[in-house]
Structure 1
Amino acid sequence: MKLYSKPGACSTADHIALQWTGQPFQVQVLTAAETKSPEYLKINPTGAVPAVQDGDFVLTQNAAIMGYIADRYPDAKLAGDGSPQQRAQAARWLAFVNSDLHPAFKPLFGPGQFIHDESKYDAVKQAARKRLRGLFEIADRQLADKPWLAGFRSFADPYLYITLRWAANTGVDLQGLDHLIAFKQRMDADPGVQAALKAEGLD
């Protein structure tokens, strides 16, 4: 399997998940310009990461790729113990990060997509930070009595971790969210996380 990733993007979460499988894989680290190249657009016409190639099979969209990695390497138990209940819990928290947390960062990354008046950019960003704080409070409560979002290590955890890195770089207030901070520290110390970050030049 080959992963196309961009350093620090949501694709780094897939890179971590692949590290956690313990199986061999390739990764091609792209620059922003390279994601718009004709060669890459043949793989993903949206010009976004992640994408994976597994033989002749090509897949895009982060949530779909995470599910594929879990199904391709079931021994890693990234979707739980094989029961419908654990897979549903893992998918639930993956959906929370993919559909709620990730999009909530978009006003911070590109406020001009939401309002043309540059004098209002700071207000748009502050509103985004407030919304993100509320979402991270949900994750913090979920982690109050468990080390992982779904109660077991799953494909949701690397994605949450990447959003925490974004939060640190965009001024999102995480003060007092002790369970979330402890989760990030555990992830920072994880060998698979460290290997993925090193490979993408993020260590």
Structure 2
Amino acid sequence: MTDQIVFYTHPMSRGRIIRWLLEEVGQPYETQILDFDAMKDPAYLAVNPMGKVPAVKHGDTVITECAAICAYMADAFPEANLAPPVGSKLRGDYYRWLFFAAGPLEAAVTVKSLGFEVSADSKRSAGWGDLGDVMDTLEKGLTGRNYLVGDSFTAADLYVASHLAWGMQFGTIEPRQVFKDYASRMTSRAADTRATQIDDALIAAAA
């Protein structure tokens, strides 16, 4: 029997990424909705000492951080075909883009959205360079491709497309045509539609 999956989230958080992931995985899961104050309660800090969502508990294993949850769940449920097989030559590209989004992409967008500019003299000190470097690198990686890795959808696509869709919606990522086309293709998947409906219904119920 598969170990129980418990999903800790809030419908207006990065947990929306992991809701999509779990719908792609296709295994039953229990959802624990936390308001933002409850994330700092001792009971939840025992799950994630950062006091943030999302987090996933799979049996006795707790995973936090969206990219880590994506990588873990893809490997834990290989039948969902969300990652290239271990040992595949595509595995390197898969890890590259998954953690490119977790590192350079999120850092560059966050710094910019908070009103900070990385000066030309400081670019070499920042692991992501600047927002322009990140956007140009991602555009190059997506140009002429349906997916980031090989010829099929992976958790890297899910994670990158989530960042792009969210950032373009709220104006923190430039809506370049290749980004719009890619995000539209990825978020048209049935699992993302289901996930969006679930979280939007939770938001509406709380209003």
What's the TM-score once normalised by structure 1's chain length?
A: 0.79
- Equivalent runs, 1:54-73 vs 2, <5 Å: 54-73=58-77
Q: C-alpha root-mean-square deviation of aligned residues, in Å? A: 2.6
2:147 corresponding residue in structure 1: 148
Tell me if structure 2 keeps the 8 A contact 1:133–1:172: no
1:84 corresponding residue in structure 2: 88
Paired residue type of 2:102: N
Measured at CA, do residues 186 and 154 of structure 1 come closer, stay the same or move farther in structure 2, by a change above 3 Å? Answer: same
Measured at CA, do residues 174 and 80 of structure 1 come closer, stay the same or move farther in structure 2, by a change above 3 Å? Answer: same
Paired residue type of 2:174: L
Q: Report the secondary structure of 1:85's partner residue.
A: coil
* Identity score, percent: 28
State the Cα distance separating 1:45 from its structure 2 match.
0.9
What's the TM-score once normalised by structure 2's chain length?
A: 0.78
Measured at CA, do residues 169 and 63 of structure 1 come closer, stay the same or move farther in structure 2, by a change above 3 Å? Answer: same
State the Cα distance separating 1:59 from its structure 2 match.
1.9
State the Cα distance separating 1:53 from its structure 2 match.
0.9
Paired residue type of 1:18: L
Paired residue type of 2:167: A
2:157 corresponding residue in structure 1: 157
CA distance in 2, matches of 1:183, 1:33: 35
The superposition leaves residues 50-77 of structure 1 with CA deviations (integer Å, 9 ceiling, x where unpaired) of 2111122222222322121011110112
Tell me if structure 2 keeps the 8 A contact 1:97–1:159: yes
Measured at CA, do residues 147 and 9 of structure 1 come closer, stay the same or move farther in structure 2, by a change above 3 Å? Answer: farther
1:114 corresponding residue in structure 2: none
Tell me if structure 1 keeps the 8 A contact 2:7–2:30: yes
Q: Which has the higher helix share?
A: 1
- Equivalent runs, 1:47-126 vs 2, <5 Å: 47-108=51-112, 111=114, 121=115, 124=116
How many residue pairs get aligned? The number is 188
Paired residue type of 1:48: K
Unmatched 5+ residue regions in structure 2?
Answer: 120-128
Does the alignment pair 1:26 with 2:30? yes
Unmatched 5+ residue regions in structure 1?
Answer: 112-120
1:196 corresponding residue in structure 2: 195
Q: Structure 1 residue runs of 4+, over 4 Å off?
A: none
The superposition leaves residues 129-187 of structure 1 with CA deviations (integer Å, 9 ceiling, x where unpaired) of x9434423322221212211223311111221221233224423524x22211111112
